[in-house]
Structure 1
Amino acid sequence: MDKLLSNGSIVGSLPEDYVFPPELRPGNLKIPFGSNIPVIDLHEANHEAKSNTIQKIINASEEFGFFQVINHGISLNLMSEVRGVLKELFEMPAEEKQKLCSNDPSKTCKMFTSSVNYATEKVHLWRDNFRHPCHPLEQWQHLWPQNPTRYRECVGLFSVEVKKLASRILSLIGEGLGLKCGYFDNDVSGSVLLSINHYPPCPEPSLTLGITKHSDPNLITILLQDHVCGLQVLKDGNWIAVEPIPNAFVVNVGYQLQIISNGKLRSAEHRVVTNSHESRTSAAFLVGPTNDCLIEPAQALIDEHHPAIFRSFKYKEFLYCYGAKLDDVGKVLKSFETHKN
């Protein structure tokens, strides 16, 4: 994989196979932080302000599909260590990163550039990606890389803490929706995939994208942002830049949470733009159902005035459909609607 961008394989102008058609180019790269994503203080959820915090989360999930959390309880030292390890990962010599690359679709732990469809895609994304499952930890940790030497221990500790945070946020969302206690504490959140994206400085950022517009297929995503801006969310037809707040996590609603909430919460489309002067590395923990988990709108949210918008299905069916329609993921949800409305 000499094509890895982090190997410094591209210098000078942007190669043609990274240039997007004019209608898909990012346009304004420096969107002001004016009307920004809500920031929620989770420390308040421990006190009498809990109901207020829950309402803020529900409102943010309805209006934006995104919010940021501060005072989340995860050690700032651990967050700093993880950032260091992830930086080390992409700065390793090319031969070390080569060991992590694979064209085998069954390999669960791998590094690649752009996407797994590099050989067949029309335009490449300006990013390298390393991904692997991380829950339950004992099932996957031994498959992770031995270099950087701190990777397994540090990312292992962090992934356990992030899973706890995700469970806490899902519990607050469940309470806000009026679902029974523990609704999400089972196979519906039984899988966690870590997706680490690295975006090196790009020679012509206005012509390409780090990640194209999409919504996440899973339940909920917990993102450790870099200090460098790049994430943008689509709201009311306009792109909003997500400000990198020190030591905060970005949380976004995935398609499964939109379905379970019977359309009350929304999974917002988002993308990543690049820049010409700084690299950016982010770590997204994609919390989702196990493959055979049955997904459907929660019964507590359905009545004669609010019929089920979506049908029942196994999560693996959704993933297959999502993967097959990556060029138009907007059609994915429609294929799971009941068509009774």
Structure 2
Amino acid sequence: MTAHALAAPAADATALPVIDLSELNDPQRHADFHARLARIARDTGFFYLEGHGIDTGLIRRVEQLTRAVFALPASAKERIAIRNTPHFRGYTGVGGELTRLQPDLREQLDLGEEQPAVAPAPGQPAWWSLQGPNQWPEELPELRGAILQWLDATRGVAERLLHAFLTALGQPPHALDGLIAAPRNHRLKIIHYPGQPDGQSSQGVGAHKDGGLLTLLLTDDVGGLQVHTEQGWIDVPPRRDAFVINIGEMLELATNGYLRANVHRVVSPRPGVDRYSIAYFFSPSLHAQEIPLLALPAELARKARGPESDPLNPLFRHIGTNALKGRLRSHLDVAERFYPEQFAQLQAQAAAQGKALEASAY
């Protein structure tokens, strides 16, 4: 794969619609808002979200700290490496995360809601190890408070948006509150995409779907995100202080495929250009166990095609099983160290496809 070859087929950049969440502040606009949200979610699955109410001062602060994290010396980042713990929290260097067994050319810091680790017990499912504390760089003590504030702010936006989705689908707005109750499992990635030389891979992130309920993505002014549609790949240009929203696989499961988790990817910047983004993954609590199936109104249920399940990346209604599957496939070093049984299964699956699986290579 040559550098930036992925970008070539992108279509009209104006195709992504805009939703203004502040319209919900006016009861007279609710019906139109929900009708438009339902249509956009069904037809596109990706949209910009404005009017979210998060203070721009907090946005600037988190953006500044994101750059500061990746400016830390390599030794500081290595001390909080993701392979240090079984919780998949911490730093990953360029090429250290995989999408479909191909290295993504980005570095990132995985964080989430601060939770205590679950004490090991005989017969305990492996996915309980996903719950645990974050790793914070001691060289940047202000990061912890800012990130926890960001998690609270984005959670509030995501909850409001989820309630709007449910209303738009003829459901009680709080129908899925049991999935997102404490102890929470929402995740955050702060990400740096370094520019890649011509002639090299341009896989900032390979084509994939997100596994949670909703993703709220904040980007800088450098493009690269692309979404796959019936017309092919379309660019998603930056829109200042707006979130890019996409539907995750768990919401696809809950709606029996009426809502679709869209395939998307990121093309690496050109040489000398850096791209930064902050991705919030609004995800079900591990304590909720399973994704329920919503009883959609008849006219919507007729349009539900059932969830898509890739044989190489199957969907599971059980929350912990599905969440662990995705983490293991992306971080082979953590899988090899803390989940040897599951790592052996991944090796067997790769061998059946004629591929080698070596965590130490990353």
TM-score of the pair, normalised by structure 1: 0.79
Following the alignment from structure 1 to structure 2, what is the Cα–Cα distance between the partners of residues 103 and 299?
Answer: 41
Q: State percent identity of aligned pairs.
A: 24
The aligned counterpart of 2:321 is 317
Paired AA for residue 131 in structure 1: D
| 1:243 maps to which of 230, 237, 248 | 237
Q: How does 1:195-274 map to 2 (within 5 A)?
A: 195-204=189-198, 207-274=201-268
Deviations 1:151-203 (A, max 9, x none): 01111111100000000000100100111231122224642111122101211
Structure 2 gaps of 5+ residues are 117-130, 308-314, 331-362
Does 1:289 pair with 2:284? yes
Cα pair distance change 1:44/1:123, threshold 3 Å: closer
Contact kept in structure 2, 1:112 and 1:130, CA below 8 Å: yes
Q: What is the Cα-based RMSD across aligned positions, in Å?
A: 3.2
The aligned counterpart of 1:148 is 140
How many Å apart are 1:103 and its aligned residue? 2.5
Mean alpha-carbon deviation: is it higher for 63-72 or for 166-175?
63-72
The aligned counterpart of 1:38 is 17
How many Å apart are 1:35 and its aligned residue? 3.8
Following the alignment from structure 1 to structure 2, what is the Cα–Cα distance between the partners of residues 147 and 107?
Answer: 22
Contact kept in structure 1, 2:90 and 2:135, CA below 8 Å: no
Deviations 1:297-325 (A, max 9, x none): 21345799748936983112223454677
Following the alignment from structure 2 to structure 1, what is the Cα–Cα distance between the partners of residues 32 and 111?
Answer: 36
| 1:63 maps to which of 36, 43, 52 | 43
| 1:91 maps to which of 67, 71, 75 | 71
Following the alignment from structure 1 to structure 2, what is the Cα–Cα distance between the partners of residues 304 and 267?
Answer: 17
How many Å apart are 1:239 and its aligned residue? 0.8
Contact kept in structure 2, 1:302 and 1:308, CA below 8 Å: no
Following the alignment from structure 2 to structure 1, what is the Cα–Cα distance between the partners of residues 199 and 40?
Answer: 30
Following the alignment from structure 2 to structure 1, what is the Cα–Cα distance between the partners of residues 33 and 141?
Answer: 39
Cα pair distance change 1:200/1:301, threshold 3 Å: same
How many Å apart are 1:296 and its aligned residue? 3.1
Following the alignment from structure 1 to structure 2, what is the Cα–Cα distance between the partners of residues 287 and 269?
Answer: 17
Cα pair distance change 1:237/1:76, threshold 3 Å: same
Following the alignment from structure 1 to structure 2, what is the Cα–Cα distance between the partners of residues 304 and 164?
Answer: 27
Does 1:129 pair with 2:108? yes
Paired AA for residue 150 in structure 2: F
The aligned counterpart of 2:311 is none
Q: How does 1:17-28 map to 2 (within 5 A)?
A: 20=1, 25-28=5-8
TM-score of the pair, normalised by structure 2: 0.74
How many Å apart are 1:147 and its aligned residue? 3.1
Contact kept in structure 2, 1:146 and 1:152, CA below 8 Å: no
Structure 1 gaps of 5+ residues are 1-19, 327-341
- How many residue pairs are counted as aligned between the two chains? 304
Deviations 1:80-116 (A, max 9, x none): 1100000000011222112111434504421112455
Contact kept in structure 1, 2:108 and 2:191, CA below 8 Å: yes
Cα pair distance change 1:256/1:177, threshold 3 Å: same
Following the alignment from structure 1 to structure 2, what is the Cα–Cα distance between the partners of residues 198 and 135?
Answer: 23
How many Å apart are 1:211 and its aligned residue? 0.2
Cα pair distance change 1:171/1:99, threshold 3 Å: same
